[in-house]
Amino acid sequence: LGSHIVLFYLASHVGRRTELRVAALLYMIGSLLCYTSGTMLAQQDYWGWYSLVLGRLVIGTGVGFVMHGAPTYMAEMAPSSIRGAVVSAKETVIVLGIVLGYLVGDMVGSRNNNGSGDWTLVYWVSLAIGTPMLVLTFVIPRSKRWLLLHGHKEEA
């Protein structure tokens, strides 16, 4: 509940598009931290473990941002006749993403004959997935509702 209050306040001031950018950046930074925890930092005392935990926390924060910003942005931009279907379709896409994530993890995890793959590659793939998300936030328009609330009637 507290996170939604904070995210609502933040998104009301910076906009949904910026909220999605922050989400993508957090997701990418967290993925990079998790990736380095098993590569560069793996042999340095506990830094690899700390990097993994911090990375997972940062990824979770990014997911929280996107789970707030994406459906709100879609609801604000979709025509009222299809608004419910568009926001509901997001849930289907999330489940599809979870299934694909497990499949990628299984393929990467069992790529060696002995079944021990490089688990850090899963985070490298998630970093690669976050990149287009960030780039596409520079293509999508600002929310019409946000524009109207901030006095940009012509742009809305």
**Once rounded to an integer, what is the mean pLDDT over residues 125-137?**
90
Q: Which two tokens stand for residue 155?
A: 């742009």
| pTM for the whole structure | 0.82
Residue 81 CA, chain-centre distance (Å), reads 28
The confidence score (pLDDT) of residue 3 equals 66
% of the chain residues with pLDDT over 90: 27
Q: Where are the alpha helices (DSSP H) in 38-81?
A: 47-77
Answer whether residue 8 shows pLDDT above 80: no
Q: Are 88 and 67 in contact (CB under 8 A)?
A: no
The confidence score (pLDDT) of residue 96 equals 94
The confidence score (pLDDT) of residue 37 equals 83
Answer whether residue 128 shows pLDDT above 70: yes
Between the CA of residue 35 and those of 21, 23, 68, 103, 133, what are the distances in Å? Answer: 21, 18, 26, 18, 19
Q: Are 124 and 35 in contact (CB under 8 A)?
A: yes
Answer whether residue 143 shows pLDDT above 80: yes
pLDDT in tens, 47-80: 878 888 999 999 999 988 888 888 888 988 889 8
Contacts for 74-77 with beta carbons within 8 Å, 24 or more apart? 76/16, 76/143, 76/144, 76/145, 76/146, 77/141, 77/143, 77/144
